[in-house]
Structure 1
Amino acid sequence: MDIDLIFVVGAVIGAFSIPALVSAFADRRVPRMAAVFILISGVMITYAAQMRPEPYVLEQLDEVFVSVVARYIN
C-alpha cells in the first residue's frame, strides 16, 4: 500500500473523529469510538511518517493530498 495513501487516510479519519469527540463530550458520554478512531489515525500517520524516506513538510501536505486523490480518481 502506498505510504502517502496511508497518511491521507489517517488524516481524514482523524479529522472526521474530532466532531464525534466533541459531540460525545457535549452529550456527557464517554467518547469510546472517537478515541478508537483517533488512535487508529495516530498509528497510521506515525507509520507513514516513519516509513517515508524524506519527512513530511507542512508546505507539502496539500501536494500529498492532491496527488493521492488524483492518483485514485484517474
Structure 2
Amino acid sequence: MGPDLCLTLGILLGLISVPSLVSAFSDSRPPRAAVLLIVAATALIATATTRKPGGYRIEQIPDVILETIGAVLT
C-alpha cells in the first residue's frame, strides 16, 4: 500500500469517525468504535507521512486524494 493510499484511507476513516463519535456522546455510551476509527486513521496518516520523502504539504492533500480515487476507480 503506497503512502498516497494510506493518507486517503486515513482521512476517510477520520471523517467516518465523526458521526460515530457524535452518536456515542448523544446516546451517553462509550465511543469505542469512534476511538478505534480515530486510532486507525492516525496510524494510517502517520504511516503515509513517514513513508513519503518530504512528507505532504497541506495544499497537496486534495490533489493526492483525487489522484488516489482516480487510480482506484480506473
| Structure 2 residues without counterparts, runs of 5 or longer | none
Tell me which residue corresponds to 1:44.
Answer: 44
Structure 2 counterpart of 1:52, which letter?
Answer: K
Tell me which residue corresponds to 1:59.
Answer: 59
Q: State the TM-score, normalized to the length of structure 1.
A: 0.95
Shift of residue 15, structure 1, vs aligned partner: 0.4
Q: Report how many residues are paired.
A: 74
Cα separation, 2, equivalents of 1:48 and 1:42: 10
Q: Deviation digits for residues 9-51 of structure 1, max 9, x if unmatched?
A: 0110110011100110011000011101100110110111111
What is the RMSD computed on CA atoms of the aligned residues? 0.7
* SS across alignment from 1:30: coil
| Structure 1 residues without counterparts, runs of 5 or longer | none
The answer as to 2:30 corresponding to 1:11 is no
Percent of residue pairs identical = 34
Structure 2 counterpart of 1:10, which letter?
Answer: G
Q: State the TM-score, normalized to the length of structure 2.
A: 0.95
Cα separation, 1, equivalents of 2:37 and 2:29: 16
Shift of residue 55, structure 1, vs aligned partner: 1.6
